[in-house]
Amino acid sequence: MQIILTAVDFIYNWGRSNSLWPLTFATSCCGIEMISASAATFDISRFGSEVFRATPRQADLMITAGTVTHRMAPALIRLYEQMPEPKYVIAMGACAVTGGMFENDSYSVVRGVDRLVPVDVYLPGCPPRPEALLDAIIKLQKQMKTETILDRKKYLDAHKPRVTLSEDENCEVLLPNEEFEVIHWGVQKTGYSKDEIATSALSASSQ
C-alpha cells in the first residue's frame, strides 16, 4: 500500500509542481517584477508557471506581490477562499512579508499577509529581482514534491484564513478568527477578549 501511494504521490506531485498556475494579484511595485519574470528575459514558463490566471478558480498559487491595505484585505481573503485546493501562497516583497517600511506607524497597512492567510514561501526584497521570484517558485516546487496525499486532511486544516469577514454587511473591518489569536510570523503573540471586540464593534456602528 505504501509503495503504491509513494508512486501515486510521485506522479501527482510531479504534475502539480510543474504546472503551478499563479493568480494575477499585483498590488504595487513588486507586480512589475512579477510581470518582468513572466516576460521573455526571465521566462517563468521554464518552470511551468507562465499561465497567469485572471480568475482564482483556475489558479494554484497566489503571489501576493506588494503592499496589502485594510481596504484590500477582504478582497485578498475572498480570492484565497475561491482558489481550489491545494493552494499555495508566496509572500513577495518586504511589504507582504512584514509590512516593510509601513510596519512602524502605518494605520492602513496589513503587517504581512501571513496575518491574513498562511504563507508557504517568504520572499524578501524591495522589490525582489525576478530571479528571486524564480528561486521562490523552485523552492515551493521542492516543498510540494515532499507532500503526500495522506497528509491532505492536516493540510486542509492548516490552510484557513486567519481573520474573518463579519456577517454584518455594515462591518468592513476584518475580525480575528476565533481559531487563531494574534499571529506574527506564524506565532501567536497575545490573546484578545471577545467581549472587548464586541463592545468596540458596537461603538463603531453607533458612530
Partner 1 sequence: MTNVEKTENIVPETSNNIVIDEKFEVKHLDKTSDGIEVIDVSGDKLIELATYLKMHINTQFNMLLSVSGVDKSDCYEVVYHLFSTIFKKNLILKVRLNRESPSVESLCGLYSAANWHERETYDLLGINFNNHLSLERILLPKDWVGHPLRKDYVNNDKRLSWNER
| Least distance to partner 1, CB of residue 91, Å | 15
Neighbours of 145 (CB within 10 A): 15
* CA–CA separation, 63 and 90 (whole Å): 5
Residue 7 beta carbon to partner 1: minimum distance, rounded to whole angstroms? 43
As measured in angstroms, the least distance from the Cβ of 70 to partner 1 is 6
Considering only residues 66-95, where is the footprint of partner 1 by CB under 8 A?
A: 70-71
Q: Does 8 bind partner 1 (CB under 8 A)?
A: no
Residue 203 makes contact with partner 1 by CB under 8 A: yes
- Contact between 61 and 90 under an 8 Å Cβ cutoff? The reply is yes
> Is residue 26 within 8 Å of residue 54, measured between CB atoms?
no
Q: Of 42 and 102, which CB lies nearer to partner 1 in the complex structure?
A: 102
Gap between the Cα atoms of 70 and 176, Å rounded = 13
CA distances to 22, 177, 179, 206 from 103, in Å: 27, 22, 25, 30
How many Cα neighbours within 13 Å face the side chain of 19?
8
Amino acid making up residue 72: M
41 in contact with partner 1 (CB under 8 A): no
Reported as type and span, the H/E element at residue 176 is: strand 175-176
Q: Is 181 helix (H, G, I), strand (E, B) or coil?
A: coil
| Residue for grid cell 506574527 | 184
Among 29, 79, 134, 201, binds partner 1 (CB under 8 A): 201
Does the footprint of partner 1 cover residue 104 (CB under 8 A)? yes
Candidate segments 31-39, 45-53, 107-115, 143-151, binder of partner 1 by CB under 8 A: 107-115
Q: Is 28 in the site for partner 1 (CB under 8 A)?
A: no
By beta-carbon proximity to partner 1, the closer residue of 19 and 199 is 199
SS3 164: strand
Residue 205 sits in the site that holds partner 1 (CB under 8 A): yes
Q: Which stretch binds partner 1 (CB under 8 A): 38-46, 86-94, 152-160, 174-182?
A: 174-182
CB 31 within 8 A of CB 66: yes
Choice between 68 and 136, CB closer to partner 1? 68
Q: Does 204 sit near partner 1 (CB under 8 A)?
A: yes
Binding residues for partner 1, per CB under 8 A?
A: 70-71, 103-104, 107-108, 110-111, 115, 162-163, 170-176, 180, 182-183, 189-190, 192, 196-197, 199-201, 203-205, 207
